[in-house]
Amino acid sequence: MRYGPEILRQSDLLGAISQDEGRLTRTYLTPEHRRAGEHIRAWMRDAGMEADFDALGNVVGRYRAADPGAPIVITGSHMDSVVDAGKYDGVFGILTAIAAVKDLNARGTRLPYTFEVVAFGDEEGVRFGFSMIGSKALAGTFDPALLDRKDAQGVTLRDALVAFGGDPSAIASLKRDPRRVAAFIESHIEQGPVLLNEGLAVGVVTAIAGATRHLVRVTGLAGHAGTVPMGARQDALAAAAEMVLFVERHCETRPGLVGTVGKLGVLPGAVNVIPQDVEFTIDVRSADDAVRRAAVAAIVTGCKDIARRRRVAVTSMPFFAADAAPCDATLQRQLAGAIAAHGIVVRHLPSGAGHDAMMFPAVAPTAMLFVRCGNNGISHHPGETMTAEDAEVATAVLLHFFEHYEPPAS
Ligand code: GLV
Ligand code: MN
Ligand code: MN
């Protein structure tokens, strides 16, 4: 094998760079982000690219075409992780691209376009509560008002960025010119079991599901756990529990719709005090934007009904929304051609997970290659796995695609 074992070795190395003892957590603008980015930058340079951190802490590698006016093709994925993450989510898409460039460079092959490999600093949104900071900036949709958002320690994104060595005033300049960018291609582990169950190493993504996220606050009345009669309580947690089950019930009855409450906090949080304040998040996704919007509206109404009945107050604030992103038909066909050229049955499948690629259809035709993961497809979990053989096949397929891809004449 030429690429797979090295990609897994690099994934192991990055997987050990964590801000948590004994588990992988690597969030945006931390010393661990810096260390992981430095390794990636060194690997990019070793592969023959010019590479450096940009103003937002993304690491950008460039494998230049001979013609400085040539179009640009961007690939890449994210180097941040969720809390207690697997080693391949995001990182695989960066490492496979570096392996592909290293191979091209070793053969002295230049492409008819400048090839940019981007390791995005933030996709998961763990630290500041909103996601895809890097890819939004490249797409020109980063809202500068977000620089005032704080992390759990009260540090603003602006201050964290300056401390990292970034430059908040240069974010607008990261926007890529849609007239220059011919395509955005991301490869990523599937994070599900479809390819595994069908015995296929890779597949072509048809569309990325859209997502809406809300922060819900429920306010009841604290009181003595031993003295307030059951019928007289305004228990914010009991109301929130009903709301959580409402989300589950609503989403499980509609095909293609998923809803998750992934975070919940209770105050005052004492064994003998009735909960007064509860905050929780809702994440609703569907490949059909109308279905997602209708579900969010129904969930908000449902939460209000529950609150009224239980005599508590509820507010619900959206903090993230991304429309579903269809993948470009021509690029899908070309990726399918590269897969077929390797003797693999072509499987098309949608992505339920969000990806940096979602931000790019406004800039350029966008597509994604999925790679099989093992262990039932588990992801956002330390049990996430993939094999060197699959990393090898995926890199070979990508190389085939990139070497045959010709940017349309502009
Ligand atoms: C990112 O991994 C997401 O889908 O939330
Ligand atoms: Mn993820
Ligand atoms: Mn990811």
Q: How close is the Cα of 380 to the center of ligand 1, in Å?
A: 8
Alpha carbon of 70 to ligand 1 centroid (Å)? 33
Residue 148 CA to residue 219 CA, distance in Å, equals 26
Q: Which atom of ligand 1 is nearest to the CA of 352?
A: 4
Distance (angstroms) between ligand 1 centre and the Cα of 82 equals 9
Atom index in ligand 1 nearest the CA of residue 285 equals 4
Tokens found for residue 307: 């609150």
Give the model's pLDDT for residue 410: 64
pTM: 0.90
Q: How many CB atoms lie within 10 A of CB 57?
A: 26
Which ranges of 200-353 does DSSP label H, i.e. alpha helix?
236-252, 289-310, 329-341
Query: pLDDT tens string for the chain (410 positions)?
Result: 999 999 999 999 999 999 999 999 999 999 999 999 999 999 999 999 999 999 999 999 999 999 999 999 999 999 999 999 999 999 999 999 999 999 999 999 999 999 999 999 999 999 998 899 999 999 999 999 999 999 999 999 999 999 999 999 999 999 999 999 999 999 999 999 999 999 999 999 999 999 999 999 999 999 999 999 999 999 999 999 999 999 999 999 988 899 999 999 999 999 999 999 999 999 999 999 999 999 999 999 999 999 999 999 999 999 999 999 999 999 999 999 999 999 999 999 999 999 999 999 999 999 999 999 999 999 999 999 999 999 999 999 999 999 999 999 76
Which residue's C-alpha comes closest to atom 1 of ligand 1?
Answer: 354
pLDDT digits (tens, 9 = 90+) for 236-245: 999 999 999 9
Distance from the CA of 216 to the center of ligand 3, in angstroms? 25
- Give the C-alpha separation, 220 to 70, whole Å: 61
Bridge partners, residue 286, by sequence: 210
Ligand 1 atom closest to Cα of residue 191: 2
pLDDT tens per residue across span 255-298: 889 999 999 999 999 999 999 999 999 999 999 999 999 999 99
Give the pLDDT confidence score for residue 130 in this predicted structure: 87
Lining residues, ligand 1, CB within 6 Å: 124, 353-354
Beta-sheet strands, E only, within 144-271: 181-189, 202-208, 210-219, 258-260, 264-267
Q: Whose CA is nearest to atom 5 of ligand 1?
A: 354
Environment class of 84 (CB within 10 Å of its CB; exposed 0-12, middle 13-18, buried 19+): middle
**Cα of 122 vs its chain's centroid, Å:** 8
Q: Where are the alpha helices (DSSP H) in 107-224?
A: 133-139, 157-164, 194-198
Give the integer Cα–Cα distance in Å for 370 and 187. 6
Nearest-CA residue for atom 3 of ligand 1: 354
| Best residue for ligand 1 mutational test, from 91, 131, 208 (most atoms within 8 Å of Cβ) | 131
Ligand 3 centroid to residue 80 C-alpha, Å: 9
- Report CA Rg, the chain: 23
CA of 157 relative to ligand 2 center, distance in Å: 20
In the reported structure, the alpha carbon of residue 354 is separated from the centroid of ligand 3 by a whole-number distance in angstroms of 7
380, 381, 384: residue to mutate for ligand 1 pocket, most atoms within 8 A of CB: 380
User: b/e for 85-104, b at 16 or more Cβ within 10 A?
Assistant: bbbbbbbbbbbbbbbbbbbb
Q: What is the crossing angle of helices 4-15 and 91-106, to 10°?
A: 140
